[in-house]
Amino acid sequence: MTRGTARVAEVVVEGTALFLDKRFDYVIPPGVDVSPGARVVVPMRESVRSGIVWAVREDVDTRGLRALARVIDRVPVLTPHQMRMAEWLCDRYAATLPEAVSAVLPGAFRVRVRKVVVPNSEGRVPNDVKDAPLFAFVADRAPEWSEIRARSRADERTVRIWLEAGFVREEIRVDEAVGEKRRAYLVACAEADVLRLEAERRRRRARRQAEILLRLAAEREVPWDRRAYPPASVTPLVEAGLVGAVERRAKRESAPPEVGDWPELTPYQTSAVRALAEMARGGHGVALLHGVTGSGKTEVYMHLIRAAVDEGGQALVLVPEIALTPQLVQRFERRFGDQIAVLHSGLSLGERREEWTRVLEGEASVVIGARSAVFAPMHKLRLVVIDEEHEPSYKQEDAPHYDAREVAMWRAREAGALVVLGSATPSLASMFRVERGEARLVSLPVRANRRPLPPVDVIDMRDELRGGNRSIFSRRLAAELERTVSEGMQAILFLNRRGFAHAALCRACGHSMECPRCDIHLTVHRRADGHVLLCHYCGHEEPLVRRCPACGEDALVPYGLGTEQVEQHLLRTWPEMRVLRMDLDTTRRKGALESIIDRFQRGDADVLVGTQMIAKGLDFPRVRLVGVVAADAMLTLPDYRANERAFQLLTQVAGRAGRADTDGITLIQTYQPGHRAIEAAKSHDYRMFYERERESREFFRYPPFCELAVFLASHSEERLARGAAARFERELARSPSAASLTVLPAGPSGIRRIDNVYRYQVVMKYAAWQDVKEDVVRAYRLVKEKMNRLGGSAVLDVNAQRI
């Protein structure tokens, strides 16, 4: 404890507990230099934690305050702008500050700090200390306090006595888990002529040295590959003052952009670029670029980006999932070369920090990444592109539950930048923005190849059955497949269900096999040695047997199609067909997805079978036929957005056909040919779909006519989860905001139990979060605190996209 006045740091301390959701004051010891955004170690109760300095105050009464234990960074890891973003996340999504910081800079707190006990300098214990074994433990392991405590209370007391007697001392250890990737370089320290001359002199005696000198004469600087240039060869050159060896942050090696790779824009693209560029000159604005599939939206983005970069600005491009869009990233890399930073979850923390630093230092002016790239530290943001803006993956499903589209708009407003939302199937929310005058609509109504959109034919599977065809392929789809392959073209078959079969069903009694730990049926998957039942939620796996556990009959069979079965049917019917499958199961391995895309693009396969992964912006010029094997699988989802999602998926999948210089065709197989989403996809009529869907959302009062928030309580004891949801509901009912809130009755969430944890929810509807925020958050924290004490959890998803 210190007295008097001093400089004080307000610190956000790492951790998930609710009590950490504030700033803690710590005295900055005299002579210590620390600025906001830097990481520090602070004492907290008995132990130490890492934190981030949020602000510094002068001349503060320091009574009762403890001092910072250590400063980790001299250069702050967070910029002031990012700190404001974190604060905004707290306000908008009811996040705690540490949660918000972890979202803005993943790994921000990723240092391990601990308080350990080590022997004092002599490390000697006087003879009268009787606890030799305990001392030995301390002497060789530098144990943490928690470890000593885990041994016993008596041990802890002993160590405290030693501390006071000076036999041992406490030490704070900080293990930096985030290593920047550093790399050694050899640099030339003399003129090229001198180096060449020296090389000539050494050519016979020291061939390696000569090689290094020649290379440096030409390139001035090369990465130091120690196998090619062993230290034995380098050291004499360094000693002679010809060469220097330095270590620094690795530069990204990438090919320079290929000039002349810019195709001439079509008239529609030209006027879109013109309209958007004009908006960009006017500062902040939001535009919705509605371009049909294959209309060349990407080309429009790239022109806008080039303009922003040419003017000294930075651009941010968000894509739904970076792993699914290797083609798009390659296109950008070809155009912009090493001006690009790619941020994705596959990066190690070190690599991420490195890309982050390139952005921060302005070395990279174009950032591409998924959701979390929206927090990239750009100082000169001019343009934000959100590609496939209708994709649900822009919303983070875990705390802090942010929506990257909203964050992007907030950032762009702060920075005076333009936001371009791009899609062939704009979300209702974005089109509604246009309707309210909050965004401007720019359209690309035709394809870049000037060909019509592929005709979409709907096949009524009821007729097939009546006609005696029991195959999963209608006669029409079978014939088109054969024709496509025989003409040397390619086909894509889409089914939104992975696995072999949707479920295992008893033909005798109707029993369906359920997961023992979750309230969900098991999916059938094929293995080399037979079928298994797998839970997609908890991973439970068991063999599929014939005998039904409910009635004892040998009548359990796979039921409902999955992608594995489609693949098997293809190979059975046309053994010579070359088939690739792209779903979660075939793309888990690193690089597997890229390899599938690559092989299909090269023409190594005739047919690609896949789930929604294949609907996200892939561009295969040789695809003539797209077949939707069973549209019904996505028409029945229990979600208010099921129709919207189905229409988007169908349109996007259909859009994979006929993208280059051939015509394409799309066939949709279904038992519900009259369904609104299918009819609209068939006629490529976004407008019709929008109008109808908008009408029903307005009637039933769903977004965009209100906003939703979902409170979810989870506990391994059902009554506690149910009780928490009921309590939350009661708190809301008696809050002053009750009149502004429509609260749906508390009840089990979509899947009541996952991995033996019960889940109960409360759904709220309201017009504006600001009006109800205070009361909702108060009720939430109250219940959450109690739930945490009881060993459960509670989360609040503001602006929820799913209920």
Would the annotation count 706 as a binding residue? no
**Cβ contact 499:534 at 8 Å:** yes
Helix, strand, or coil (residue 647): helix
Q: How far is the CB of 331 from ligand ADP (least distance, A)?
A: 8
Q: How far is the CB of 268 from ligand ADP (least distance, A)?
A: 9
**Cβ contact 385:304 at 8 Å:** yes
Instruction: Give the residue with the Cβ less far from ligand ADP, 297 or 624.
Output: 297
Rule CB under 6 A: which residues touch ligand ADP? 263-266, 269, 291, 293-299, 448-449, 619, 659
Q: Please list, residue by residue across 248-270, b when 16 or more beta carbons sit within 10 angstroms of its beta carbon and e when fewer do.
A: eebeeeeeebeeeeeeebbebbe
Q: How far is the CB of 601 from ligand ADP (least distance, A)?
A: 11
* DSSP code per residue over 303-335: HHHHHHHHTT-EEEEE-S-GGG-HHHHHHHHHH
Q: How far is the CB of 492 from ligand ADP (least distance, A)?
A: 15
Sign of CA dihedral 291, 296, 301, 303: negative
The most distant pair of C-alpha atoms in the chain lies apart, rounded to whole Å, by 97
CA 104 to chain centre: 12
Instruction: Give the residue with the Cβ less far from ligand ADP, 294 or 723.
Output: 294
Distance CA 568, CA 40 (A): 57
Would the annotation count 90 as a binding residue? no
Cis ω before 704 (30° cut-off from 0)? yes
Q: How far is the CB of 745 from ligand ADP (least distance, A)?
A: 43
Instruction: Give the residue with the Cβ less far from ligand ADP, 265 or 577.
Output: 265
Pairing of strands 440-444, 523-527: unpaired
Give all strands of the β-sheet with 556-561 in edge-to-edge order.
Answer: 541-543, 530-534, 523-527, 501-506, 556-561
Q: How far is the CB of 296 from ligand ADP (least distance, A)?
A: 3
Whole-angstrom distance between the N-terminal and C-terminal Cα of the chain?
Answer: 50
Question: What is the residue whose two structure tokens read 């999932």?
Answer: 321
Q: How far is the CB of 264 from ligand ADP (least distance, A)?
A: 6
Instruction: Give the residue with the Cβ less far from ligand ADP, 257 or 747.
Output: 257
**Cβ contact 382:304 at 8 Å:** no
Q: How far is the CB of 22 from ligand ADP (least distance, A)?
A: 45
**Cβ contact 363:759 at 8 Å:** no
CA 239 to chain centre: 49
CA 607 to chain centre: 29
Instruction: Give the residue with the Cβ less far from ligand ADP, 205 or 450.
Output: 450
Q: How far is the CB of 429 from ligand ADP (least distance, A)?
A: 20
Instruction: Give the residue with the Cβ less far from ligand ADP, 560 or 664.
Output: 664
Report the candidate in 360, 374, 272, 366 with the shortest Cα–Cα distance to residue 320. Answer: 374
**What are phi and psi for residue 82, nearest 5 degrees?**
-65, -35
Q: How far is the CB of 263 from ligand ADP (least distance, A)?
A: 4
Q: How far is the CB of 595 from ligand ADP (least distance, A)?
A: 21
SS3 content of the chain, % helix, strand, coil (to 5): 35, 25, 35
Instruction: Give the residue with the Cβ less far from ligand ADP, 102 or 652.
Output: 652
3-state SS track over 744-757: CCCEEEEEEEECCE
**Cβ contact 24:795 at 8 Å:** no
Report the candidate in 34, 32, 24, 38 with the shortest Cα–Cα distance to residue 79. Answer: 38
Residue nearest to ligand ADP (CB): 296
Q: How far is the CB of 670 from ligand ADP (least distance, A)?
A: 25
Would the annotation count 538 as a binding residue? yes
Instruction: Give the residue with the Cβ less far from ligand ADP, 266 or 563.
Output: 266
Backbone torsion region of residue 176, taken as left when φ is above 0, otherwise alpha when ψ lies between -120 and 50, otherwise beta: beta
Q: Which two tokens stand for residue 667?
A: 């066939």
Instruction: Give the residue with the Cβ less far from ligand ADP, 563 or 652.
Output: 652
With residue 610 as reference, give the H or E element that holds it.
strand 607-610
Instruction: Give the residue with the Cβ less far from ligand ADP, 266 or 666.
Output: 266
Would the annotation count 189 as a binding residue? no
For 323, 367, 614, 623, the CA distances from 620, given in Å and listed in that order, are 17, 25, 11, 6
Contacts of 756 (CB under 8 A, 6+ apart): 517, 518, 716
Instruction: Give the residue with the Cβ less far from ligand ADP, 272 or 431.
Output: 272
Report the candidate in 646, 634, 638 with the shortest Cα–Cα distance to residue 676. Answer: 646
Instruction: Give the residue with the Cβ less far from ligand ADP, 263 or 549.
Output: 263
Would the annotation count 515 as a binding residue? yes
Q: How far is the CB of 393 from ligand ADP (least distance, A)?
A: 17
Would the annotation count 548 as a binding residue? yes
Instruction: Give the residue with the Cβ less far from ligand ADP, 474 or 652.
Output: 652
Report the candidate in 305, 348, 343, 352 with the shortest Cα–Cα distance to residue 325. Answer: 343
Residues annotated in a binding site? 506, 509, 515, 518, 535, 538, 548, 551
Residues annotated in a binding site for Zn(2+)? 506, 509, 515, 518, 535, 538, 548, 551
